[in-house]
């Protein structure tokens, strides 16, 4: 069985689409900003809107420079290609995106070995990290890079506390490892925790932010780091075919998102909490209380697989994702308001016989 997001089945009722926050669409105001953007050749460094976006994101994270890329997966892969050499060891949580959702690109493109670390809700501590680092030997791969996902997707959007981030970063540094932060939904974590993006990223050599999820832009991610790091990242961007032309229209959407769509993430986080609370008492459904905008639930006790529950909810006009045999996911975003959440709760309750 294939487990992947899919659109809701066609019904005669409006869909409540919770299968991902990647389905967000640009607003009319964002589209106007895109239409009005100043453009140039991005590959030659001549697109003023792209350059402004990169300056903004570098400043957001307290880094020297940044580069605009098509996707977060490319950000992760370029970061590993810059930090590592073939045969090196990358350590990340066992559920991290670089392990679970990038088609083994780290091995295919960079020849790196990615080792998975265990821990609750997509996080681990310095003791676990220390235990995974073998003594230097010609028989073992060199532990070169630590990857942290903030927020943790398969941790249910969990937010790494600042103290834990700094603790594992210090441990990695003491073992001569570089640090990379996968920040796909980092701003959801900033809004939830009240910790600034620059404080979260302070100890990391590289960090990126996705704009095509909860921030509502149609395209793009920005990878930030030192000037030296970004210089090498540009070479990999060129090699991977990621250099672009007049993409200031996309960059304008990202700038609009920074100006208008960050603070509203509080609504998505609150709607996820409302959804989780509304289905937590359903018979047999094990619901994880979210930190941010991702609600994970397990279906073993209901007698249904996650795919079976997904399909029954689709018939009620609600779409969710079947992540594995018994793990389901609902993701809140700007196109699902409080009324939509209440409709989703009603659909869950109807399908699981609680009405």
Domains of the chain in start order, with CATH, are 16-24+264-351 (3.90.1150.10), 37-260 (3.40.640.10)
How far, CA to CA in Å, does 240 sit from each of 44, 186, 233, 291?
16, 25, 10, 35
**Average pLDDT value for residue range 184-200:** 98
Over residues 168-188, the pLDDT tens digits come to 999 999 999 999 999 999 999
What pLDDT score was predicted for residue 126? 98
Q: What is the pTM of this model?
A: 0.95
Tell me the average pLDDT of the chain. 95
What is the share, in percent, of the chain residues with pLDDT greater than 70?
95
Rounded CA separation 265/271 (Å): 10
Q: Using DSSP, how many helices (H) and how many strands (E) does the chain show?
A: 14, 13
Nearest CA to 153 among 327, 297, 296, 263? 296
Q: Which of 6-20, 146-160, 309-323 has the lowest mean pLDDT?
A: 6-20
Q: Report whether pLDDT(5) > 60.
A: no
Q: Report whether pLDDT(66) > 70.
A: yes
Q: Report whether pLDDT(28) > 60.
A: yes
Q: Report whether pLDDT(240) > 80.
A: yes
Q: Report whether pLDDT(60) > 50.
A: yes
**Average pLDDT value for residue range 303-332:** 97
Q: Report whether pLDDT(3) > 80.
A: no
What pLDDT score was predicted for residue 326? 98
């Amino acid at each position: 069985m294939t487990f992947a997001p899919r659109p809701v089945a066609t019904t005669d009722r409006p869909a409540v689409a919770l299968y991902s926050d990647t389905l967000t669409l640009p607003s009319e105001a964002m589209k106007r900003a895109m239409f009005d953007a100043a453009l140039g050749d991005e590959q030659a460094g001549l697109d003023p809107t792209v350059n402004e976006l990169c300056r903004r994101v570098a400043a957001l994270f307290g880094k020297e420079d940044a580069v605009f890329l098509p996707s977060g997966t490319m950000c992760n892969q370029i970061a590993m290609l810059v930090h590592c050499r073939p045969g090196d060891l990358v350590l990340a949580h066992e559920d991290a995106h670089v392990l679970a959702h990038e088609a083994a690109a780290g091995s295919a493109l960079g020849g790196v070995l990615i080792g998975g670390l265990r821990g609750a809700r997509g996080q681990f501590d310095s003791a676990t990290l220390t235990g995974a680092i073998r003594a230097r030997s010609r028989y073992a791969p060199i532990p070169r890079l630590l990857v942290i996902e903030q927020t943790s997707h398969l941790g249910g959007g969990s937010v790494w506390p600042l103290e834990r981030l700094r603790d594992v970063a210090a441990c990695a540094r003491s073992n001569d490892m570089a640090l990379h932060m996968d920040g796909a939904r980092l701003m959801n974590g900033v809004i939830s925790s009240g910790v600034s993006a620059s404080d979260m990223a302070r100890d990391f050599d590289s960090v990126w932010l996705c704009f095509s999820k909860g921030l509502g832009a149609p395209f793009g991610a920005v990878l930030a780091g030192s000037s030296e790091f970004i210089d090498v990242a540009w070479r990999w961007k060129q090699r991977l075919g990621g250099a672009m032309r007049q993409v200031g229209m996309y960059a304008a959407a990202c700038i609009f998102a920074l100006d208008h769509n960050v603070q509203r993430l509080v609504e998505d986080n609150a709607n996820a909490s409302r959804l989780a609370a509304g289905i937590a008492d359903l018979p047999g459904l094990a619901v994880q209380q979210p930190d941010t905008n991702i609600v994970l639930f397990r279906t073993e006790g209901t007698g249904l697989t996650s795919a079976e529950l997904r399909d029954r909810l689709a018939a009620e006009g609600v779409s969710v994702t079947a992540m594995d045999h018994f793990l389901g996911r609902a993701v809140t975003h700007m196109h699902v308001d409080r009324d939509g959440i209440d409709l989703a709760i009603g659909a869950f309750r109807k399908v699981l016989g609680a009405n």
